[in-house]
Chains A and B, each alone.
Chain A
């Protein structure tokens, strides 16, 4: 579904992505793990056209999306819940969800999908008219995921959805990711919590300083000595 080939990104003099190649097949969960500053967010931001690539190719459902504008990429079916949640704090919970459905016209479908989001995240329903800024961190994360789902994406990209959450909430977030996947959405998941991410993923990539250094099925990576040493030791 998503095919990234030899992607290079520079921030001024910094070479942030050095020839990244990565595949996200339809209806799978793919995860990308790596330490701080490895370039994971840069990859997602390049897919969403918030960052411009220097060279390479990103194909989505067969056509090149590199060079397209962010809003057209969303229209094409790629949504992202960005790092750090980035909910619109001055808007209500339900208005945040409506923003996620910005390009959709059918009010009936939007309403049905809002109910679907509320069924996944009952806490959001209780707080639907509350300002998003007053939500707890975990609730904001749920809102960020729900908002991304409101565009009915074919591919959902999640940038560290467990960041800064208590352990109980982390397992809740991963349970929901599983549920969304089961309901038919392809997922590209970025995590520092490598253990949980590799457990849920069909296939995983490990990134270090802008390069993919390892890849394999979730299980293979979990059992890989290098992965264990570098990522699992500290996250358990």
Chain B
């Protein structure tokens, strides 16, 4: 592999990895606060894509508006899922919430098939993201540059909210000790709702970028990116927002590089994520940047 090829794969890897990362943030935020793996998160991402799709197709909105409205609707969907599915089992044993999450996931996937139809739909790629850049023998879609810029900007905004605002401080307190946070006068359910909204909005943004990159959408499209993002979150240390992005980048680069170096192994691409997951769970369950878990 020469330098040009390497650079090309690097760009592809970063672009893919930052998508895993932005989706992983939703997993890690919800886990940090509720100790819940929100298995429906990948499906929430899928819903974001469909909201954007129908915004353009049915309501003929300009794509910018459609994307922003889709992100907002997905944030609301996240709040509704928390309110309707997770809050009722908040005090039940953790396994109940986990099973509920799997139920929500199936519900979204199957409702998606009924409402949107199971067939692939072509996602609209605006011209802005559709030009090929050639540079010293490297060729790539300019989208590959936009993706990391957009995702890192979103990460920055999310980190600002978590570390520089009052509600963010409450999130950090809840993740450390929910009961004592209540004693501070914090409406914990409200903060949890905001957490779901933020994670779901990030997933929608990630999903839309995903759909721009692979412009075919269907109701089951969230499953694989969702699983990969989950691995990225575990790799980065679940509960750690910056770690989720780094985990995503590592995973994306590992996948792209494996295929670049050994094209004959490209069929095993999806296996990398699960190999990483197994290794991490065996040797370092708290991930690369995870804090030592209490208890």
Known: A95-B169, A99-B169. A88 touches B177 (CB 8 A): yes
**A47-79 interface bits toward B, Cβ cutoff 8 Å, 1 = contact, 0 = none:** 011100000000000000000011100110001
Q: Is the pair B184, A102 in contact by a Cβ cutoff of 8 Å?
A: yes
A86: which B residues are within 8 A, CB to CB?
177, 180, 183
A89 to B175, CA, bound (A): 12
A103 to B185, CA, bound (A): 6
Q: Is the pair B180, A91 in contact by a Cβ cutoff of 8 Å?
A: no
A100 to B173, CA, bound (A): 11
Q: Is the pair B184, A90 in contact by a Cβ cutoff of 8 Å?
A: no
Q: Is B197 an interface residue (CB 8 A)?
A: no
A82: which B residues are within 8 A, CB to CB?
180, 183
Q: Is the pair B182, A50 in contact by a Cβ cutoff of 8 Å?
A: yes
Q: Is B34 an interface residue (CB 8 A)?
A: no
A113 to B36, CA, bound (A): 37
Q: Is A32 an interface residue (CB 8 A)?
A: no
Q: Is the pair A79, B186 in contact by a Cβ cutoff of 8 Å?
A: no
B182: which A residues are within 8 A, CB to CB?
48-50, 70-71
B181: which A residues are within 8 A, CB to CB?
99
* B128-182 at interface with A (beta carbon < 8 Å): 166, 169-170, 172-173, 176-177, 179-182
B183: which A residues are within 8 A, CB to CB?
48, 50, 70, 74, 79-80, 82, 86, 148
A83 to B152, CA, bound (A): 42
Q: Is the pair A74, B172 in contact by a Cβ cutoff of 8 Å?
A: no
Known: A50-B179, A86-B177, A86-B180. A91 touches B185 (CB 8 A): no
Q: Which residue of A lies closest to B166 (CB)?
A: A102
A103 to B190, CA, bound (A): 13
A71 to B170, CA, bound (A): 13
Q: Is the pair A71, B179 in contact by a Cβ cutoff of 8 Å?
A: no
Q: Is the pair B185, A151 in contact by a Cβ cutoff of 8 Å?
A: yes
B179: which A residues are within 8 A, CB to CB?
50
Q: Which residue of B lies closest to A99 (CB)?
A: B184
Q: Is B188 an interface residue (CB 8 A)?
A: yes
Number of interface residues of B (CB under 8 A): 17
Q: Is the pair A71, B177 in contact by a Cβ cutoff of 8 Å?
A: no
Q: Is A154 an interface residue (CB 8 A)?
A: no
Q: How many Å from the CB of B167 to the closest CB on chain A?
A: 10
* Among candidates A50, A74, A90, residue contacting B185 with C-beta atoms closer than 8 Å: A74
Q: How many Å from the CB of B238 to the closest CB on chain A?
A: 16
A99 to B187, CA, bound (A): 12
Q: Is A40 an interface residue (CB 8 A)?
A: no
B169: which A residues are within 8 A, CB to CB?
91, 95, 98-99
Q: Which residue of B lies closest to A79 (CB)?
A: B183
Q: Is A147 an interface residue (CB 8 A)?
A: yes
A50 to B177, CA, bound (A): 13
B186: which A residues are within 8 A, CB to CB?
71, 99, 102
A25 to B182, CA, bound (A): 25
Q: Is the pair B184, A74 in contact by a Cβ cutoff of 8 Å?
A: yes
Q: Is the pair A89, B176 in contact by a Cβ cutoff of 8 Å?
A: yes
A90 to B177, CA, bound (A): 11
A79: which B residues are within 8 A, CB to CB?
183
Known: A50-B179, A82-B180, A102-B166. A88 touches B173 (CB 8 A): yes
Q: Which residue of B lies closest to A49 (CB)?
A: B182
A48 to B180, CA, bound (A): 11
A80: which B residues are within 8 A, CB to CB?
183
A190 to B287, CA, bound (A): 42
User: Which residues in B have some Cβ–Cβ distance to A below 8 Å?
Assistant: 166, 169-170, 172-173, 176-177, 179-188
The 7 closest A-B pairs by CB, nearest first: A74-B185, A70-B182, A86-B180, A103-B185, A71-B187, A99-B184, A102-B184
* Extra inter-chain contacts (15) besides given A48-B182, A71-B185, CB under 8 Å: A50-B182, A70-B182, A74-B183, A79-B183, A80-B183, A86-B180, A88-B173, A88-B180, A90-B176, A91-B172, A91-B173, A99-B170, A100-B184, A102-B185, A151-B185
> 30 interchain pairs (CB within 8 A)?
A48-B182, A48-B183, A50-B179, A50-B183, A70-B185, A71-B185, A71-B186, A71-B187, A75-B185, A79-B183, A80-B183, A82-B180, A82-B183, A86-B177, A88-B173, A89-B176, A90-B172, A91-B169, A91-B172, A98-B166, A99-B170, A99-B173, A99-B181, A100-B184, A102-B185, A102-B186, A147-B184, A148-B183, A151-B184, A151-B185
